[in-house]
Structure 1
Amino acid sequence: MTRTTTARRRTLLAAAAAAALSLALAACGSDMDGMEGMDHAASPAAASSPGGHDMAGMSHGPDGMSHGTSTPDNDAADGLAAERGGYRLDGALSGSEYRFTVTGPDGEVLTSYRPEQTEEMHFYAIRSDLSGFRHLHPVRAADGTWTAPLADPAPGDWRLYASFVPGTGSGAGTGLVLSRTATVPGAASPVPLPPAATATTADGYAVTVAGTPRAGAAGELTVTVSKDGQPVTDLQPYLGTYAHLTAFHAGDLAFAHLHPEAAAVEGEGGGPELAFHAELPKPGDWRLFLQFRTGGTLHTAALTLDVAA
């Protein structure tokens, strides 16, 4: 090989190496440009509570307590948010009454509601250990303030839910469930959660639940009511159907309303079997509360349901 050929080859190799180095530096610069726009340290605004709720969106309501006002998708679907779609729940516990308002997207207190299952407002209260269940239909004043009597709630932490359909605003006609927490003063005595079961009793009635819903999937629960070993066939309408079924998740108190699969009913003659559409978003223990009416008396049966992932 001649000296001229060798020199030319060295020149070409050097040029190729320079070009490769140039391309590598360009690519590295591109990567660094993209990284400059990333937040690599957790900022205070991104801090979360142990339960996974956004602490940056916390505010103080009229009851002086801190309340989550941000609406992560999971909270919005589970009734654990105080604000959703521009509608906001604010309230205060005063003795045995909870007084609250719903503010609409326009910043004004909402005074227009559409009835859902015969009522403008369904109000629920549950203690943190899933005891003390309440389902009420409070009275609304002309200024939009609702008053829900809680009949001497036991001391401890409670979650209070408002389930309603706005009559005005951007969410008119859409069902919403908003909630707040409150603490009833005094020495709290936790009630152990009963183990999962398929049967329970209430006021002499036997209630069984059949079905194995899975978390996040649509399923069906069939409830059967009997008394003294005989099927009950004289259920009376309650809220437009023969029974009302709600559920609360152990731990975070996520809310679910299990809708009856039958159409609205009139007159006596319901039972003994009632089918419900069950779509429970999370696995684990859920406390079910079935309400039904016979002879003008409302009965409430409760049992724990284990929902698989």
Structure 2
Amino acid sequence: MFTSTRPTVRRRALAAAGTAAALALTLAACGSSNDSSSSMPGMDHGTKPSTSASASTSPSMGGMPGMDHMAAGNGLTDNKDGYRLTSKDTTLTAGRQAPYRFTVTGPDGKPVTAFALDQTKRMHFYAIRSDLTGFQHIHPTMAADGTWTADLDALAPGSWRMFASFTPDSGAGKGTAFVLSRTATAPGTAAKTPLPAAAKTAEVDGYTVTVKGDPMAGMEHPMTVTVTKDGKPVTDLQPYLGTYAHLTAFHEGDTAFAHLHPTTKVNGDHGGPELSFDAELPTSGNWRLFLQFQTGGTPHTAALTLNAG
């Protein structure tokens, strides 16, 4: 015998709507740093300026800053819907800066050169080591022929995955978010770093970042990040690329990609102490989160491990 669950579903839907409405009134943001220096070992803020990628045009989504659409898929493929990430750079020198060059081709096989703005940039590039260390977030430059160059800081030996996050501004995929990736190797003796245990707090540059919320795999779930310093709430977060904070996650084992999105507009240099995100981690297990934010013109990157049930 089957028992109807419609009233329960309806109550849950109303509760979810209420939560969404509340979140729409809270601070949040998704930006990136404007500095290639790292505030934590093995991590790079890496938002290097891009002439071609920072031209002043209207945001691709036409909505509030930071409210970019959810990137399609987990990024663990180099092709989707006819779009392909190509690169000849399969090996990169370890221990020193190195350029990573790549091209995005469309369904017609030709290089894509028209990209919509997403958080003021036309391309977001991420490099993550297989053990989830060595995080770099870069805004590369594009040549006229569609070749992008990401100037990577020194890579530790090991296997790396290179992610390109973009939205075509023409063609069949116009307005669709893509995240594609390829692997590359930095030769040498690769010492694996164990993933830190799951924790709700992280320290960086004197700041304490605290996460509230228990995400469930495959479900959108509200999550709040609180930033404090010396035990006091931080209320002077500055906008990055039009937003207050950028939160990226990578899955332990396969390095699957997830971008956690904020819910509201920014209001000058008055961000914090709470930043609210719509968290949707597609699979269960441990995720390494990298939160990037800025105060006093200085970028910071906090990292912590979060478990999705």
TM-score, length-normalised on structure 2? 0.74
Q: 2:279: which partner in 1?
A: 278
Q: 1:55: which partner in 2?
A: none
Q: Paired residue for 1:98, among 85, 88, 100?
A: 100
- Secondary structure, in 3 states, of the residue corresponding to 1:274? strand
Say how many residue pairs are matched. Answer: 232
Q: 1:162: which partner in 2?
A: 164
CA distance in 2, matches of 1:186, 1:140: 30
Is it true that 1:128 corresponds to 2:124 in the alignment? Answer: no
CA distance in 2, matches of 1:143, 1:204: 44
Q: 2:27: which partner in 1?
A: none
* One-letter amino acid matched to 2:201: A
1:242–1:292: 8 Å Cα contact kept in structure 2?
yes
Q: 1:17: which partner in 2?
A: none
User: Where does the alignment leave 5 or more consecutive residues of structure 2 unmatched?
Assistant: 1-71
- Secondary structure, in 3 states, of the residue corresponding to 2:264? coil
Is it true that 1:218 corresponds to 2:220 in the alignment? Answer: yes
Structure 1 moving runs of 4+ over 4 Å: none
Q: 1:269: which partner in 2?
A: 270
Q: Which moved more, 1:91-100 or 1:154-163?
A: 91-100
Q: Kindly provide the CA deviation profile for residues 114-135 of structure 1, in whole angstroms up to 9, marking residues without a partner as x.
A: 0001110000010000000011
- Secondary structure, in 3 states, of the residue corresponding to 2:73? helix
CA distance in 2, matches of 1:143, 1:291: 31
CA distance in 1, matches of 2:267, 2:166: 23
Q: 1:177: which partner in 2?
A: 179
TM-score, length-normalised on structure 1? 0.74
1:215–1:283: 8 Å Cα contact kept in structure 2?
yes
Q: Could you tell me the percent identity over the aligned residues? A: 64
1:240–1:266: 8 Å Cα contact kept in structure 2?
no
Q: 1:49: which partner in 2?
A: none
Q: Kindly provide the CA deviation profile for residues 160-180 of structure 1, in whole angstroms up to 9, marking residues without a partner as x.
A: 000000011101111100000
**1:239 Cα deviation from its structure 2 partner:** 2.4
Q: 2:261: which partner in 1?
A: 259
Q: 1:201: which partner in 2?
A: 203
Is it true that 1:304 corresponds to 2:305 in the alignment? Answer: yes
CA distance in 1, matches of 2:196, 2:88: 30
Q: Kindly provide the CA deviation profile for residues 223-242 of structure 1, in whole angstroms up to 9, marking residues without a partner as x.
A: 00011111100000012211
CA distance in 1, matches of 2:181, 2:245: 23
* One-letter amino acid matched to 2:293: F
**1:266 Cα deviation from its structure 2 partner:** 5.0
Is it true that 1:87 corresponds to 2:83 in the alignment? Answer: yes
Q: Kindly provide the CA deviation profile for residues 189-230 of structure 1, in whole angstroms up to 9, marking residues without a partner as x.
A: 111100000000111110000000100011011000011111
CA distance in 1, matches of 2:264, 2:279: 13
Higher relative contact order (CA 8 A, sep 6+): 2
Q: Which has the higher helix share?
A: 1
1:106–1:169: 8 Å Cα contact kept in structure 2?
no
Q: Kindly provide the CA deviation profile for residues 62-104 of structure 1, in whole angstroms up to 9, marking residues without a partner as x.
A: xxxxxxxxxxxxxx62110100011100113354111000001
Q: Kindly provide the CA deviation profile for residues 230-273 of structure 1, in whole angstroms up to 9, marking residues without a partner as x.
A: 1100000012211000000000111000001113x252000000
CA distance in 2, matches of 1:239, 1:90: 27
- Secondary structure, in 3 states, of the residue corresponding to 2:88? strand
User: Where does the alignment leave 5 or more consecutive residues of structure 1 unmatched?
Assistant: 1-75
* One-letter amino acid matched to 1:295: G
* One-letter amino acid matched to 2:302: A
CA distance in 2, matches of 1:109, 1:77: 21
1:87–1:105: 8 Å Cα contact kept in structure 2?
yes
* One-letter amino acid matched to 2:74: D
Which protein has the larger Cα radius of gyration, Structure 1 or Structure 2? 1
Q: Paired residue for 1:141, among 140, 143, 161?
A: 143
